[in-house]
Chain A
Amino acid sequence: MNRIRSLYPTLILALFGIVVALYMLQLPGLLAFHETYQFFLFSQNYFKESISVAGGVSDYIAEFIVQFFYYPAVGAVIVAIIIILLTATLYYTLKRESDEWPFSLSILSLSISISVFLLAFMCDENAMFTFPVALTLSILIVRPLRYLMCGLATSIVTIVIATPLLYWIIGPVSVVAIVISIITEERLRRRYLISLVSLLYIALTILVLGRLFLEQYPNESLFWGVHYYRQPTQFPTSLFGLPLYIVIGAIAINVVRSIRLANSILFTSAFSGGVLLLAVLSVLKSFDGEKFTTLQYINLTRQGAWQRIIENSKDEQPDSELSRQCVMLALAKTGQMGEQMFNYNLRGVQDLFDRFKLNCVSATPSAEVAYHLALVNTCFRYYFDSQEAIPNGKKSAHMTKRMAECLIVNGKYNAARKYLERLKRTIFYSDWAKKTEIILDDEKSINEHPVFGEMRRLRFKTENFFFYDQIETEFGLLALEDGAGSNRLAWDYFCAVSLLKGNLERFVGMYHYASEVFQQEYIPLHHQEAILLFWSFGHPNTEGLPFPISQAVVKNLQNFISNTQKNQNYWKVADPSYWTYYLMLQNKKSQRENRIPIHNEREG
């Protein structure tokens, strides 16, 4: 029995580790997101730059680790290891040798609950991995600090020296290391008083260091951390709450340890159940399934995993615009766009391609669309701005790679070389960069390259084309510019935009010409639906229709019209088709038109 009791922390920690790993495996999009929005460089300057800011060492370590999230499965295991390390260190830090079963189980539960709260915080994609790393470092440093705090004098010296040092290495979370060291050190008298005085000293140290070396940072950043959250002007409560919870937990353990009841099964069950339940509830509250699905769609798009995207979308309709953009690209890349697109609950052109918005995420699916369509400048611009929109000022290796590709296609080899130089100093992009660098300046190799050569063939050939905000025209001209039907994807996108805009006249008009250019024998289902619908506006039957429309489609439209005549809202319940989308669009338009006079009247 004693043997089992001595082993149970290890077993529980191992089990917890497996649960964490399995949980993180469900969030590959989130892990890939972290990898996408950083650029760890093996360079002296990068290291110097990192450690020139308070908390830079923990950030440097975290970034080093996060680059392995390139493979999300590896990332899941790494997160689990860090979480277990934190939990185990916390447990062995808070537990005294005299603590016995079942009280020690309460300490273990508290330690696990801290890690679970941390996992809840990490559901936020802007929660940087630096925070768990900094917390873990802080807890790891407690034992060495305690070793030095054998008396009041040595404690004061330790605190005076360690505070600025740890603040600079770990960041403000280092306060946990100092305070926990004091309040868990048995040999120290008046621990809570010393803790309070230390807190004042820590605050003073932060202010002095901040004014001396971090003049450009606002005070909030100095206290809440520069590297813990991607949005530098936002400070979620967890940044303060988690360290506070650890300190309160440590004090609580100290206090209840002396109470006899604490060593009872009843207390342990109630305490453990309570803290773990709260922690799990916080994860459930923070878990945003739609967001994680979107991130995973973006991740799969980046990988070009078209079939997986389509399979995932069949399981569950994509909820967000970004997800739908990814699904549409996957359909286009697999030649199914004209057949399938209206099976998804599309709401407009924004489900296909979007203009840049001032954040680092929302343009990335569209940037991938531009990349595959060979809209080279658009791809470059979207990625450049997306990278610049990363709120904490970090760069992105993935985006840099795409930008380098665009520069190569545009023949800007010196700029491309600059980006390749950076990529060469990474783990996962280095091989590609080295191989690509060899062919720079070699026009023949680039023209024959499967990616660059293809993009050059598909891209706009005319230098001075100038567009304002006309995606439809842009796609149409790109598709038809060379008159040879090379850029089939651009044609698919032109058709999709026209259909989504309800611009049937233009769509059918172009179709006459383009079907010859693209030597199109079969007309995809949604295109047939659109052509037939447009034809039906001016013709009582299909006689004279210049396109081969299947009889099934003709019959379906007749049924659709007949049902709509009976029930004006039939489109809401009908099987998805272009007609259901078209009526939804018309309905939206008429609602908008109806709203305008009311608005004007009010203004008047």
Chain B
Amino acid sequence: MLHMPLLSLVTFVPLLGAAIIFFIARGPEEVIARNARWMALWTTGVTFLLSLFIWFNFDRTTAEFQFVERVEWFPALQISYHMGVDGISMMFVLLSTVLMPVCILASWDSIQDRVKEYMISFLILETMMVGMFCALDYVLFYVFFEGVLIPMFIIIGVWGHGERRVYAAFKFFLYTLLGSVLMMLALLAMYLQAGTTDIPTLLRTDFAYSMQIWLWLAMFASFAVKVPMWPVHTWLPDAHVQAPTAGSVILAGVLLKMGGYGFLRFSIPMLPEATEFFTPLIYALSVIAIIYTSLVAYAQENMKKLIAYSSIAHMGFATIGMFTLTTQGVQGSIFQMLSHGIVSAALFLLVGVVYDRLHSLDIDRYGGLIRNMPKYAAIFMLFMLASVGLPGTSGFVGEMLSLVGAFLVNTWVAALAAIGIILGAIYMLQLYRRVVFGKLEKDDVKRMVDLSPRELAMFAPLILLVLWMGIYPSSFIEVMDVSVANLIENYELALEARDGIAVAGR
């Protein structure tokens, strides 16, 4: 097992699948579509199984990067194809590979137009996402990070179902690109300082304080748009509403985590002094995001928009948690991102289920679904409560730990963020009441049928994970434990070293 390039396999098997679909034998439209669907499902399934090998062979006692692969790429420039995972990134790899087969299943019937291209786009997207979490070279990371834009742009623009899908696709692309290009300059500046783009080396490189500030801001431009943080979040509701269901699932489930992961992998450990300087900014933006977007979510009449705004609020907990730089806070933050990845993905799937039947996202168009769709109502309730943060579900653990971390460093931030939890309960319960409870009056709503076996199959793994993460979180926390401890220790050492120099200088 150790001699197999496991990470490269997980990264590039989807691309191989995409290539096979691309060259699939010509024939009638339906045959091609059917083959593309099955091929995509098989590919993502195999990728998921391969990624399980990472989970089982992962050494939980070390903070070192594991499954490391290294091949010369730009020999003269010290840029190499370098892959590896630690306790932080490994979970995100699994999150991506878990969600992909679910996405393919979710698109099984709802996508009828250009199925082949659709499946190719999703498989390319998976390669980019997994590659990004595994990359241990900054240039390689950047290539994957920005490469995500191309398939996502196509997915929103071609298969999106809103009237403003073109606008949303452009907004998504240009917003993210604007942030990313600034990060590219930061990347180059770091490369010229350190002489390499190797991430483990960069983690050990000290940058001057004045330089750190600029580098931090450049990276912040990129990651804050991805997370997204207030006030650069406006692309997200548009993109979510217009994207096809599976596109929303990937957007909320994985793409937002790329920003949080970026903070954890680059900003915090590489630029500790600047991180300390900017922490109040992050707190302020996150608290505003939590309260403001929760209120906005409450006012929404569109289901997808409501969940999109709730995503921004939930990611606010994650950013607060990670910048507390306490064990609980950082673990809570990662846990919150994983939990949100699954819960919001499931919520978007749930919206997709009713959208497939009624082709409307208006909350008012529904009501009383509990009578004709009991299974649906039950599953919806589970994920709604997970989103609210009910104990026993994954949402509780993430929010709880993040808030404990926040309390340790700043009571005000914690108190204000806690308001967000209450607001979250208000708008989610309200949504649930209006869609599921009430009288079943509308004729077209009455005709809606309950979940099909395919739909149950796509929810089953998510239900399992939400409960597992909520009831026995240790099996996930122990994976990240050492890596998080290492992150915090290095951060504190860096600050101490600076203070030591300052004292000596006096």
A and B associate in one complex? no
Task: Please report B residues at the A interface, Cβ cutoff 8 Å.
Answer: none
